[in-house]
Structure 1
Amino acid sequence: MDATEHTADPTPPRSRRRLRNSLVAGGLVVVLAAGGGGAWAADRFLVEHVEITDVSAYEAANSTAPAEDSSDATDSASDATTDAGAVLTDSSYVDGETSVTVTQVVTGSGDDTVTYYVADVLLDDATTLRSAFAKDQFGQNITETTSSIAAANGAVFAINGDYYGFRHTGIVIRNGVIYRDAPARTGLAFYTDGTVEVYDETMTSAADLLANGVWNTLSFGPAIIEDGAAIAGIEDLEVDTNFGNHSIQGEQPRTAVGLIDENHLVFVVVDGRATGYSRGVTLTELADIMLSLGATTAYNLDGGGSSTMYFGGEVVNQPSNGGERGTSDILYVAG
């Protein structure tokens, strides 16, 4: 994530990429030549800081998921049958009571064209929606593309998450495991009963959320729909005070998640910065899209070049960087 991804920028994507590369290279020269502030910037934004080297092992040791008992042998045999009966097409996936349906929507014309992708997701159980981290590690500045993380975790469907690794604050609970407890902003909580709730991180703790049945949290924002209505003033909100991460206003590529009903979610990825294909949308327009899809709660995730939807082994949208950009995490449904 960088400053250009959250402010309006008329520069063509390829030129922006060349500029970004030049700035990074130039920054490294400054680091080598001058040290000081340049060294701090490189350490803050470029250098990986790994806190947990093996997330899979960490989750296995700390998961709050129910322990398997003897009755699960029958369930396992049933699951094997279900897996054998899973059906994947170009736009849908069905496995028992879990289903994912992906559609493309195009509105407007000419410079006003907006193209976005909708994934309507029904879950057999709330814990079917999982999170995964880049390189199976937790920390800052650890990134991989959404498709790489998805493939490594056997995902049939995935979107980019909240890019938790860009910051050191927020409450991070993933797959029933606490990773960070540094309340800072408005978050989104997914509960094991299939409900989803917008909440104030500063009014609770990771331990309390976990005790109350939270399975996953996201810490980005802002929330754009609550109690079935668009939240007022979302165009004036800032995510936090991180450098390059203040403003998310204007017409941008976007990623959002919303709740329609218990265990019924909707995910939207809006493409942008491509005249004649998709200009991107404002937060108010994003809220309107989510409302039109039936969402009663909805939340904005990392956008710009991060906005990516993956389905059936490939990226279905057209990321604004001209290709996927690395991110720190995804939400996914395994195939």
Structure 2
Amino acid sequence: MSDSVLAKPVSRRLLFGGAAGVLGLGGTTAWALNRYVIEHVEGTVTDATAAIAQGTSTANSYTSASTSLTIEKVSTGSGSDAVTYFVADITSTDATMIRSAFAKDSFGTNIIDYPSSIAANKNAVLAINGDYYGFRDTGIVVRNGVKYRDDGARQGLALYRDGSMALYDETATSADVLIADGVFHTLSFGPGLVENGKAIAGIDSVEIDTNFGNHSIQGAQPRTAVGMIEPGHFLWIVVDGRSNGYSRGVTMTELAQLFLDRGAAVAYNLDGGGSSAMVFNDALVNNPLGRGKERGTSDILYVAG
């Protein structure tokens, strides 16, 4: 999650003092440890097969029979107003080459791994952090066409097998209906940034979740978001932040504008803060929090070979 949204499992382990601190825990602390730190595996991945890349890569591009992508680094402003972000422009005639993977090939809560490690396990060409579904026990989670969770709670994003993408209300449908309609992935974080080619009003005041550990995601923050220009033509944007002189991060409205400037018809915000990561051919592309280190997360989106 964005650092301003959630403390990560690693941070919570430090707060609880590690294994030695488990002894003598009070009821509230023991509950929090169980809810937010201890791994709970609810199931294994139905299709854990890694693809083998069949295309050709350069330092910032990849081309195969079905998919092509380029990665661009953009820097604007200077000093305290500097912003640095990375744009992956992806086109594919087979939208199922856009895939998802869970940390440790397991579905559940508090199961995390570095995005680069999850990506390497799948031989991913390109990957970004996902929605950190594993912090929550609500939301609709459909990945690679398989239902994992069906508890609608917020605005979600649906990615269809035909390469289209749409915002939707999780509470007004179900995972089974979505799959029957051709949905290949759902993402459950938000807010939606762009719809019908226009920025969504009020996104700078949206709160994501209200449970323990959550805070505001307003202001200039590191961000990860996905968008679609037209079916089969996608934009993945990762913005670095909280690093003075390198990148301050962006607001939600600014993030929406990055997508609009490139012609996006729809865009959706994902987990951010220190979790924001882009990996290309096993190498970390961006510079999380200006430290050059990834943070563990529960899932990624990736481009298969």
Shift of 1:32: 2.2
Residue 67 of structure 1 corresponds to none
User: 8 Å contact 1:93–1:99 — kept in the other structure?
Assistant: yes
Q: State the TM-score, normalizing by the size of structure 1.
A: 0.85
Distance 1:282 1:328 in 2: 24
The answer to whether structure 1 residue 32 and structure 2 residue 23 are counterparts is yes
Of 7, 20, 36, the match for 1:45:
36
Structure 1 spans left out of the alignment, 5+ residues: 8-15, 61-78
The answer to whether structure 1 residue 205 and structure 2 residue 174 are counterparts is yes
Residue 102 of structure 2 corresponds to 133
Distance 1:37 1:196, change over 3 A: same
User: 8 Å contact 1:116–1:269 — kept in the other structure?
Assistant: yes
Shift of 1:218: 0.1
Of 217, 240, 247, the match for 2:209:
240
User: 8 Å contact 1:5–1:305 — kept in the other structure?
Assistant: no
Which whole-Å deviations, capped at 9, do the CAs of 1:78-127 have from their partners, x for residues lacking one? x99x92xx210000000013111001000101110000000000012111
* One-letter code aligned to 1:213: G
* One-letter code aligned to 1:44: R
Which one has the largest radius of gyration? 1
Which whole-Å deviations, capped at 9, do the CAs of 1:121-174 have from their partners, x for residues lacking one? 001211110000000000000000000000000101000000000000000000
The answer to whether structure 1 residue 275 and structure 2 residue 267 are counterparts is no
Distance 1:261 1:28, change over 3 A: farther
Distance 2:204 2:141 in 1: 25
Distance 1:172 1:304 in 2: 22
Distance 2:152 2:20 in 1: 32
Distance 1:223 1:101, change over 3 A: same
Residue 334 of structure 1 corresponds to 304
User: 8 Å contact 1:195–1:262 — kept in the other structure?
Assistant: yes
The answer to whether structure 1 residue 218 and structure 2 residue 210 are counterparts is no
Identity fraction in percent: 59
Distance 1:213 1:109 in 2: 45
4+ residue runs over 4 A deviation: 18-22
* One-letter code aligned to 1:49: H
SS of structure 1 residue aligned to 2:209: coil
Distance 1:138 1:22, change over 3 A: closer
Q: State the TM-score, normalizing by the size of structure 2.
A: 0.93
Distance 1:59 1:38, change over 3 A: same
The answer to whether structure 1 residue 325 and structure 2 residue 298 are counterparts is no
* One-letter code aligned to 2:184: W
Shift of 1:26: 7.8
SS of structure 1 residue aligned to 2:24: helix
Question: Which of the two has greater helix per residue?
Answer: 1
Distance 1:129 1:326 in 2: 21
Distance 1:180 1:20, change over 3 A: closer
* One-letter code aligned to 1:108: G
Shift of 1:260: 0.4
Number of equivalenced pairs: 300
Shift of 1:33: 2.4
Shift of 1:229: 0.4
SS of structure 2 residue aligned to 1:275: coil
Structure 2 spans left out of the alignment, 5+ residues: none
* One-letter code aligned to 1:25: G
RMSD: 2.2
Q: Spell out the pairing of 1:38-117 with structure 2 (5 A cutoff).
A: 38-52=29-43, 54-55=44-45, 58-59=46-47, 83=54, 86-117=55-86
Which whole-Å deviations, capped at 9, do the CAs of 1:25-59 have from their partners, x for residues lacking one? 28973x4223311100100110000011x31xx24
SS of structure 1 residue aligned to 2:30: helix
Of 163, 166, 171, the match for 2:132:
163
User: 8 Å contact 2:243–2:290 — kept in the other structure?
Assistant: no
User: 8 Å contact 1:167–1:242 — kept in the other structure?
Assistant: no
Distance 1:27 1:94, change over 3 A: same
